Each structure stands twice: as structure tokens, then as C-alpha cells.
Amino acid sequence: MPNIYLASSSPRRRELLNQIGLPYTVITIEVDESLPSGLSPAEQVVALSRRKAGAAAQKLSEGVVIAADTVVVQNGEVLGKPADETEAMSMLERLQGAIHEVFTGITVMDLPGGRVLSDYECTEVQMREVSKDELARYIATKDPLDKAGAYGVQGVAAVFVDGIRGCYFNVVGLPVFKLAQLLKKINVDVSKYWR
């Protein structure tokens, strides 16, 4: 079985790979995340996941690279990670009482052959109305500052979420079902790693 490499420093993605029993090594990468204008949210996350996988592959001679990118989209506008607490408050105020979408692009790359497969997942999230005081207390935890859309559904912000339509794990940052499907296409069966 090939070695698996995760091209992400996200603790949420590491937790999800641990949850499905997939052993991996983290590869730290830095990529330019600027993109040409006019791309849809799905095209953006797929393009960035491919860029991240490619950057990790340059450090390896063999194995399978997994890379992902997640964004929150409301009314067609992409919300990435907030730059500071003020921007986090602005994002969270926009999301409350409304439905938004979470897109995650995933790429798997098989080395040395270089076979690259990508896909994306989209999940709808309904947030309840949240008071400014609650939002301020949440922002004070610093939790929203490293998350697309300024919230993490797997943490205390779960109390803001009224409903989810689609893959919950996608909202966390890695749609594990879709990942397992892509891995199977390059002959990596997740279940063979279970002990």
C-alpha cells in the first residue's frame, strides 16, 4: 500500500483522516492562492486543491498526495478566512439567519505516475439568528480566525447551525466519502488500512 501524504496543516483534516483510519504524513506547503477572476466557487476550490497537491508532489518521489481547499459562499460571494476579528464579525453577521454554501475541492495525486483526480462537494448550511454578544464571545475564542466563513461547525459554533443539507464532513473541511471514491479510482482502498 502506498504512503499517503496530506498537503494541509489543517487540524480538522488530520482529525478526519484519523477518523477513517487512513495513515498519513503531513507535507507543509505554501502556495499562491490568487486565481483568475470569473471562476465559480467549485472551480476555485478544485484549482487550489490541485495547486496544493502539485506543490506537495514536488517534494516527493512516490506515494499518494491528498489536498483540499474549502470556501464559504453566500449570495455568490466567496468568504475565505477572515483577516482579523472585525472581518470575522462582518462575515458572521452576514451568515446569520440565512443559508450559505460550503464548497470543498479535493485532489488526489498518484506518484510517480502523476495521475491526478479532482472533485468537489457542496453543502448547504442554515444558520440561526445570533446575537451580537454571542458572536463577540465566539470571536473572543479566536476559533473563527483560521476558518473559511469565520466559523467551525465542529466546535462551539455548532450551536449557531440550525441545519445542514449534504455532507457534514465537507463543512468541517474534507468530504471523506468523496475522498474515498477518488482514492479507490487510483487503487487505494481506505478499508485496507483498517486494523
Query: Residue 105 to residues 50, 174, 193: CA-CA distances in angstroms?
Result: 8, 8, 24
Helix (H, G, I), strand (E, B) or coil at 100: strand
Rounded distance between C-alpha atoms, residue 44 and residue 77, angstroms = 12
CA atoms within 13 A on the CB side of 182: 24
Stretch (H or E) spanning 43: helix 41-57
Query: Does residue 146 have an active-site annotation?
Result: no
Q: Annotated catalytic residue: which of 32, 69, 84, 162?
A: 69
- The x, y and z cell numbers of residue 166, run together, are 449534504
135 φ, ψ (degrees, to nearest 5): -65, -40
Among 18, 59, 10, smallest CA distance to 194 is for 18
Active site residues: 69
